[in-house]
Amino acid sequence: MIEKLKISSILYIDDEKEILNNAVEFLSFYCKSVYAAKDGYEGLELYKKHKPDIIITDINMPKLNGLKMIRKIREEDKDTKIIIITAFIETQYLMEAVELGLIKYLQKPVSQISLLPVLKLCMHELFDKKSSFEIEKDLVYDLFNQSLFLLKIQVLLTKKELMFLDLLVKNHKRVVKYEELNMFVWQGLMSEDAMRSLVKELRRKLSKAAVKNISGIGYQINEYT
């Protein structure tokens, strides 16, 4: 299960520099991408930009604490797997954490041995429950390999098309906003023409009905039932 981390991304947030650096160094051996933030505000910005699969965050941090940051994320995203770490297990925090749909609550200092089983649990939640997503009959997106198949034949996508589709599929229960797509696919440099062109080409490869536009809000992927 741990090998699936190789295609996953993690955002680690902690205001203690040494802990943050050590965690990033350790996780980089296992993960495709590891992003680091020193407070909740920076963490929120990196989340919006990179849409990581897993977030590991301290609670007590300057500017914006971990729970407040998670609440902002959970307003739109119920699926990203989140692990909380903190020096003190407090009843108030535990009660708040339960409401936020967290994977685990770990007490500092967090060892590599204690973190790996939690990451395995995240991988199970991300991939084993549903490793493929059926957009239409015989049109399937493989979440693990990040590949699209039509009648079991791979459909070639550009890097941006794949990023766009992957974000929609991972958030298929909601509308993905234009701003999110702009940050994730174009790093904030998107033009309206570029997005329209990408969607047009993606619909050509999928079908017109596969990618739904919610006027003034964003896009949502169709799920075959």
3-state DSSP of 141-195 = EECCCCEEEECCEEECCCHHHHHHHHHHHHCCCCCEEHHHHHHHHHCCCCCHHHH
Q: Are residues 144 and 95 in the same domain?
A: no
Range of the domain at 217: 132-221
Number of domains in the chain: 2
2, 117 Cβ separation under 8 angstroms:
no
Q: What is the CA radius of gyration of the chain?
A: 18
Q: Are residues 137 and 203 in the same domain?
A: yes
Q: Are residues 141 and 181 in the same domain?
A: yes
Alpha-carbon gap, residue 89 to 79, rounded angstroms: 24
The enclosing H or E element of 136 equals strand 132-136
- The residue with greater pLDDT, 219 or 127, is 219
pLDDT for res 214: 93
Q: Is 209 exposed, middle or buried (0-12, 13-18, 19+ CB in 10 A)?
A: exposed
pLDDT above 90 covers a percentage of the chain that reads 48
Token code pair at residue 199: 């969607």
Domain C-terminal end among 80, 99, 128: 128
Q: Are residues 165 and 190 in the same domain?
A: yes
125, 79 Cβ separation under 8 angstroms:
no
What single DSSP character describes residue 175? P
Alpha-carbon gap, residue 80 to 61, rounded angstroms: 21
Alpha-carbon gap, residue 136 to 124, rounded angstroms: 25
Position 74 pLDDT exceeds 70? yes
Q: Are residues 177 and 119 in the same domain?
A: no
201-223 average pLDDT score: 92
Q: Are residues 96 and 23 in the same domain?
A: yes
176-203 average pLDDT score: 91
Q: Are residues 96 and 200 in the same domain?
A: no
Q: What are phi and psi of 131, to 5 degrees?
A: -85, -10
CA-based nearest residue to 81, from 29, 4, 178, 21: 4
Domain C-terminal end among 108, 128, 148: 128
Domain C-terminal end among 111, 128, 145: 128
Alpha-carbon gap, residue 91 to 130, rounded angstroms: 34
CA-based nearest residue to 149, from 137, 140, 162, 160: 140
What single DSSP character describes residue 191? -
What is the per-residue pLDDT across 30-45, written as a single tens digit (0 to 9) for each?
A: 898 999 999 999 999 9
Max Cα-Cα span within the chain: 53
Confidence grade of residue 188 (pLDDT, cut at 50, 70, 90): confident
Q: Are residues 193 and 101 in the same domain?
A: no
What is the per-residue pLDDT across 13-23, written as a single tens digit (0 to 9) for each?
A: 999 999 999 99
Q: Are residues 116 and 152 in the same domain?
A: no
Alpha-carbon gap, residue 158 to 164, rounded angstroms: 10
Q: Are residues 26 and 115 in the same domain?
A: yes
63-71 average pLDDT score: 89
- Whole-model pTM: value is 0.69
